A and B are shown apart, each in its own frame.
Chain A
Amino acid sequence: MATNAQDIDAFVDRKYDAGFYTDIEQDTAPPGLNEDVIRLISGKKKEPEWLLEWRLKAYARFLELREPNWAHVEYPPIDFQAISYYSAPKSDADRPQSLDEVDPKLLETYEKLGIPLEEQKMLAGVAVDMVFDSVSVHTTFRDKLAEAGVIFCSFSDAVIDHPELVRKYLGTVVPTTDNYYAALNSAVFSDGSFVYIPKNTRCPMELSTYFRINAMNTGQFERTLVIAEEGSYVSYLEGCTAPMRDENQLHAAVVELVALQDAEIKYSTVQNWYPGDEEGRGGIYNFVTKRGDCRGARSKISWTQVETGSAITWKYPSCVLKGENSVGEFYSVALTNNLQQADTGTKMVHIGRGTRSTIISKGISAGRSQNAYRGLVRIAAGAEGARNYTQCDSLLLGDRSAAHTFPYIECKNPSAQIEHEASTSKISDDQLFYLRSRGIKQEDAVNLIVNGFCKEVFKELPMEFAVEAQKLLGISLEGAVG
């Protein structure tokens, strides 16, 4: 079966489809990181004094921290002084009120991506808050959401319009001191999304944000804050692609979720950032801190992610289960190809009594990529009757890729139940031959098997995203996914 490994390699080696570059005039800060730059960012955004103080404190902390090196990834040192920390589309000065006023080049970009705004507007049930580089340029469906009392806006707008909410919750899930990249983000974050769901409200539509990275040498430092008040429910969808380019780009986002009593937050991500070329040149560095706080009793936070992009991924969407009987879930598909490196997983921190968590992780490695699952399950002394179930499966394509699993379990309560299952498999010659002998072409057979492998995660995605996710796997594995 010597030919098969090569055949598989041949069709996982598909070119990145969303690679193009838009030439738009940028309002960009000179490269460099210092207090003046932070003051510039804060000033550009007309932020209140307390937020500037908060940023400066984070920056002071950042200077004391060291870049983490425990992840199973390798990359040349990042020169933080070579990065420009602020970039906004020029039209920011005069915000467009309708599509007609939006820079046509911008719209063109989205059309190339297959997400024209016009269509997005018609996609009933989906509001789109787009982030182009650092500033949100368009928000739709805001009126309908406002009727329900839901706030869904750019982070900058929230700082101006709802300062009390931002001040109350910002940094309470991921403190500025949390880690190196979180501290950096806190100091220089540009924009992001803000969501507030009032008490006993079911958000009337899925909320989605399309992120895109477009400016040379501009780090992206998104900040997202989602607050679900008592008894509320929201499903948030995040998806991203990026244009092809040569420079490595750093992306260090922070996402904070707060679920109060009986509230539920479902946060889904489909990530397709530029992974670099076959030699690993030019891909995005994705160093993200995502964490949810199940603050109230019976609250629930679910992370679902499908990761196919980025040169390096360092990402552990986590749940802190403080409320009694609160629930945390993590469903993940991470696909790496060529020289991509992914070190991703989750942390489930059980603090409250009767808290439960589920972790389903599916890693697919192709080419010469490195795919690591890293997960922590921590049961605190007071977490009486806590339960965790972890299932961690790896699938290898070809014979030059690698899968790693690093599970950490810390249990301080004897009544807790923790289960961990792990498997590593290759697409077997037997399976391929079986399907081919039935009349299914080899690449379709591979897609069938890979999709079957990911099924438990895909079924957790909202319908419209499940389709997108299969499409992305198809891009990485070539051919339509069955």
Chain B
Amino acid sequence: MLEIRNLHAEVDGNEILRGINLDIAPGETHAIMGPNGSGKSTLSHVLAGRDGYTVTAGTVHFNGKSLLELEPEERAGEGIFLAFQYPVEIAGVNNVYMLKAALNGVRAYRGEAELGAVDFLKLVKSRVKAVGLDESLLNRPVNEGFSGGEKKRNEVFQMSVLEPRLAILDETDSGLDIDALKAVAEGVNALRDAERSFIVVTHYQRLLDYIVPDHIHVLSKGRIIKSGGKELAHELEARGYDWLTSEAAA
């Protein structure tokens, strides 16, 4: 489904990604771990199409299409969703109204008919319960005045409405207490199925106790230096990253 080959990317002339190779099959959940500054968030943003990153080499294919040539909204149309580490506040723009524009934008890209207000609200009602988002947040401005946990839950809620084929969770656990973390993880797990894939970017092993990945990759200095199964997380928890980074350097 997703094939990343020798991906190099830089920001302001500094090379951050130095040859990433990664294959993700439908239904798989891959965790990307690594120390600060290893390029985890850059990888997320490059996949979602954020401006300001220059891809200098490599390819990314998503279901056979070259992803790097598409605008962010086109990537969303193809089924990519990025759950932000720091969800953005947008004053005056109603949360559920934005989501309706998003869903219909995605549907238009796929040549599907617009979803009417009644059907849309029905969908929203069912999803909002599933992810445990406070319903009163639906009609508030996007993320404005939301707590850290509410923002992350709102990301998962948006994901559940947009039903992406590949969801990228960028440090979704950051700033969450254990209860909020569990709730967000439950929301994510409810969306896992045989078709949908996930990239879970995290600094800590903790999140992976709740969202159990099929594969774990350790990123360091812009390269994947180690890949393994879910047990790798516990090894990292016990030994830290240093043994890997020094191993890679040696």
Contacts and interface: CB of A to CB of B under 8 A. Distances in A.
Interface of A: 1, 3-4, 428-431, 433-442, 444, 448-449, 451-456, 482
A448 B72 contact: no
Contacts of B67: none
A365 to B, nearest CB: 17
B7 interface: no
B98 A451 contact: no
Max chain A Cβ within 10 angstroms of own Cβ: one of B73, B76, B106:
B73
Interface stretch (B83-91, B116-124, B229-237): B83-91
Given A429-B51, A448-B98, A439 B93 contact: no
Contacts of B48: 433, 437
Interface string B85-113: 00110111110011101110110010000
B172 to A, nearest CB: 15
Nearest to A433: B50
A437 B159 CA distance: 11
14 contacts: A4-B51, A433-B50, A433-B51, A437-B73, A437-B76, A439-B106, A439-B109, A440-B73, A451-B92, A451-B93, A453-B92, A456-B92, A482-B97, A482-B101
Interface of B: 48-52, 71-73, 75-77, 81-82, 84, 87-88, 90-94, 97-99, 101-103, 105-106, 109, 141, 158, 162
Contacts of B52: 1, 429
Contacts of A4: 51
Given A434-B84, A437-B49, A444-B105, A455 B92 contact: yes
B131 to A, nearest CB: 16
Given A3-B51, A442-B73, A434 B105 contact: no
Nearest to B76: A439
A429 B88 CA distance: 10
A436 B76 CA distance: 8
Nearest to A1: B51
B76 A452 contact: no
A397 to B, nearest CB: 15
Contacts of A455: 92
Given A448-B98, A455-B92, A437 B72 contact: yes
B92 A452 contact: yes
Given A433-B51, A451-B93, A452-B91, A439 B77 contact: yes
Max chain B Cβ within 10 angstroms of own Cβ: one of A437, A441, A452, A455:
A437
B141 A452 contact: yes
Contacts of A444: 101, 105
A431 B51 contact: no
Per DSSP, chain A at the interface is helix
A439 B50 contact: no
Contacts of A428: 88
A456 B97 CA distance: 16
A53 B14 CA distance: 77
B103 A439 contact: yes
B88 A438 contact: no
Given A448-B98, A449-B90, A452-B93, A439 B105 contact: yes
Nearest to A429: B51
A243 B14 CA distance: 53
B50 A454 contact: no
Given A3-B51, A434-B88, A439-B76, 10 more contacts: A1-B51, A433-B48, A434-B84, A437-B75, A438-B98, A438-B105, A441-B73, A444-B101, A448-B98, A452-B91
Max chain A Cβ within 10 angstroms of own Cβ: one of B77, B87, B92, B141:
B92
Given A4-B51, A437-B76, A431 B90 contact: yes
A441 B105 contact: yes
Given A3-B51, A437-B76, A430 B88 contact: yes
B90 A435 contact: yes
Contacts of A482: 97, 101
Contacts of A430: 88
- What 10 pairs between A and B have smallest CB-CB spacing? A452-B92, A439-B76, A452-B93, A438-B102, A439-B106, A455-B92, A439-B105, A436-B72, A434-B88, A1-B51
B140 to A, nearest CB: 12
Contacts of A436: 49, 71-73, 76
Given A3-B51, A444-B101, A434 B87 contact: yes
Nearest to B52: A1
A454 B101 contact: no
Contacts of B98: 435, 438, 440, 448
B190 to A, nearest CB: 20
B9 to A, nearest CB: 15
Nearest to A438: B102
Nearest to B161: A438
Given A4-B51, A440-B73, A435 B91 contact: no
B91 A453 contact: yes
Nearest to B79: A439
Max chain A Cβ within 10 angstroms of own Cβ: one of B87, B98, B141:
B98
A436 B88 CA distance: 12
A362 to B, nearest CB: 10
B108 to A, nearest CB: 9
A448 B142 CA distance: 11
B10 to A, nearest CB: 15
Given A1-B51, A440-B73, A441-B73, A435 B92 contact: no
A448 B90 CA distance: 9
A442 B74 CA distance: 11
A447 to B, nearest CB: 10
A440 B51 contact: no
A433 B92 CA distance: 17
Given A452-B90, A452-B91, A437 B105 contact: no
